[in-house]
Structure 1
Amino acid sequence: MAKYKMILDLDTGIDDALALAYALADQDCDLIGIIGSYGNVLVKQGTQNSLDLLSLLGAGSIPVYEGLSHSSTTSSFAVQPVSARIHGVNGVANLEITHTSTKVASQSGIDFLIDAIHKYKKDLLLVPTGPLTNLAAAIKQDPAITKLIGHVTLMGGALTVPGNVSPVSEANIHQDPEAANEVFQSDIPLTMVGLDVTTRTLLTQHETTIWRNLKTKSGDIYADLVDYYIAAYKETNPHLHGCALHDPLAVAAALEPKLLETVYLNMKVDTQEPYEGRTIGDETRLNLPATTTQVAVNVDVERFVAKFMERLTSLFEKN
């Protein structure tokens, strides 16, 4: 039996697709559901992408739930042009992935998350790889969940490096800084896996060639996804010489925290310009013990990339 129950909260673009595959491929993980969010794509596109990828990877029985479609302070959401460029207009490199007939689950993503936390308690891991709107809404609806859940490992933020959508702000946090601040100010146990560490973990066409050589449907599609992503990175981050494994690192670190070097820090998220979306230490809680919030500052790159390739290559061999 798998060691950990996991829920992914995805705005399913390309690195979310890699995170989904990692969760399916890791023997310590029992993926019990996916909650859709907005960000790289609109929420309905993202949930469809998740359903289609689960089907492609032989896991079509895992349910997908719809989360909130816009931030906690707005009434609508539009995809940024840079997101469409990096992930493709449809979030999956403009590929035509076969649509599954499976539909999104009828229960709301927020209610599913709350119910699952009450059911599995400390055995449940949540990995949000988009904005924190859904998690903040769940905490507001049922504050008790912060004491029940095992751990939250989120991809977002930037503590020791600049942001990627402003000098101080990372994209996921910037989508809903108010929600992110509510999560960071709560007592939920969490680890922030930010740009500090994710941009050290890179894939190149050397790795996608390995997948292509498997001659399987999933290997070909995932190679196409990542090659598109690498091409986008050549425009946006040419100094990296590859594409960053943002979201899959959060999944891997949720299952093996020792991949990361972290510091405990009471944090806040600035909600006003010019520092909107900045993830930083909370000066009002500086002298209080920091016991629930950790921030990743380094990563065992070699070990993570090796684990990532071993797991995904094995998964693609079978599908």
Structure 2
Amino acid sequence: MTKQIILDVDTGIDDALAITYAAHSPELNLLGITTTFGNTYVDVAARNTLNLLHLLGKDDVPVYKGMSQMLNGDDHHQPATWIHGENGVGNVDMPESPKQPEAIPAHEFIISTVREYPNEVTIITMANHSNLARAIKQDPEIASLIDEVILMGGAVTTEGNITAHAEANIYNDSEAAQFTMQSGVSMTLIGLDVTRKTLLDKATIDTWVENGSPLAEALAGMCQFYMEAYEKEEPILKGCPLHDPLTIGVAVEPSLVETKQMNVNVVTDGEANGQTVGTEDENGNVKVALEVDAEKFVAHFANRILG
């Protein structure tokens, strides 16, 4: 059965990989993509997404911009240019899409789509939670009408990547993340606990260079930038983690990860802002991925990424 999905992104190199992976997965029907801030500004994320969809021949997929402020109205944090480049996609220039973002804001698209497909929509969020939180805040009933939220975020059993305590997506709007996790929505957390184990190596990128298609060249250029950044930031990994793409892999094949039901809360201020604190609880609010079949996932990703 085809899964109806919305992608929520801050495109972003690994977001670009995940969007491409999703577009090449027949198990998934991409209803639309919502953008937010984080890896880059929300407007730039929308343009990157439209340009990538154009490169993929998927101009029919609509893109919706979110707000440029956090849920509490504060301005967002600065883009992660050191790891995603000045334009969010490793300074790679993609062909310009002729399309523009849709007129309605991201959170209203989420509400209307969940209402149109009750209990059928999986929301895969690879960014902060401001779009999802605004949607649930405006229409609380949709929390029970969303089939599942699969989110890349958090670090329940490991250290963070933007601070010692926090993973970047959660940190970028910790109040929104805490709100959605307590909203009653069915949620699976794909955090640094597992994504750090899913590494893209240079040999795979080299095969994309050899492929020579416009898509392969664009993705290779992005990942070469990404890998060089990781060599400086986290050299112990010996590759670049497939953070966001793992959410797509789990949407296609949930058995790629082993999860435990936990009660998860997000610290929303102080030195530990953005930390995801989880305790095992069979009635907990979140399924937390703690183990991953990294070899199987990376092979699946590599086999699909170029279509």
The Cα shift of 1:291 comes to 5.3
8 Å Cα contact 2:6-2:30 kept in structure 1? yes
Secondary structure of the corresponding residue to residue 225 of structure 2:
helix
The Cα shift of 1:78 comes to 4.5
Q: Which runs of 5+ in 1 are unaligned?
A: none
1:310 matched to which residue of 2? 303
Q: Where do residues 212-291 of structure 1 align in structure 2 (5 Å cutoff)?
A: 212-281=209-278, 289-290=282-283
8 Å Cα contact 2:264-2:284 kept in structure 1? no
TM-score normalized with structure 1 length = 0.93
Q: Where do residues 1-319 of structure 1 align in structure 2 (5 Å cutoff)?
A: 3-80=2-79, 83-281=80-278, 289-290=282-283, 292-313=285-306, 315=307
Secondary structure of the corresponding residue to residue 144 of structure 1:
helix
Secondary structure of the corresponding residue to residue 44 of structure 1:
helix
Equivalents in 1 of 2:114, 2:13: separation in Å?
Answer: 27
Secondary structure of the corresponding residue to residue 32 of structure 2:
strand
1:4-31, Cα deviation, whole Å (9 max, x unpaired): 1111000001000001001101110111
TM-score normalized with structure 2 length = 0.97
Equivalents in 1 of 2:266, 2:75: separation in Å?
Answer: 22
The Cα shift of 1:204 comes to 1.3
Equivalents in 1 of 2:304, 2:117: separation in Å?
Answer: 25
The Cα shift of 1:236 comes to 0.3
Tell me which stretches of 4 or more aligned residues in structure 1 moved more than 6 Å: none
8 Å Cα contact 1:165-1:171 kept in structure 2? yes
Q: Which amino acid aligns with 2:204?
A: E
- Tell me the number of residue pairs that the alignment of Structure 1 and Structure 2 aligns: 307
Secondary structure of the corresponding residue to residue 252 of structure 1:
helix
Secondary structure of the corresponding residue to residue 125 of structure 1:
strand
Equivalents in 2 of 1:101, 1:236: separation in Å?
Answer: 36
8 Å Cα contact 1:42-1:78 kept in structure 2? no
Q: Which amino acid aligns with 2:227?
A: I
Q: Which amino acid aligns with 2:14?
A: D
Equivalents in 2 of 1:121, 1:52: separation in Å?
Answer: 30
Equivalents in 2 of 1:205, 1:295: separation in Å?
Answer: 29
Equivalents in 2 of 1:308, 1:164: separation in Å?
Answer: 23
Aligned-residue sequence identity (percent) comes to 38
Q: Which amino acid aligns with 2:271?
A: P
Q: Which amino acid aligns with 2:111?
A: I
1:197-254, Cα deviation, whole Å (9 max, x unpaired): 0010001110011112212110111111111100000000100010000001012112
The Cα shift of 1:41 comes to 0.5
Secondary structure of the corresponding residue to residue 4 of structure 2:
strand
8 Å Cα contact 1:177-1:270 kept in structure 2? yes
Q: Which runs of 5+ in 2 are unaligned?
A: none
Equivalents in 1 of 2:10, 2:75: separation in Å?
Answer: 15
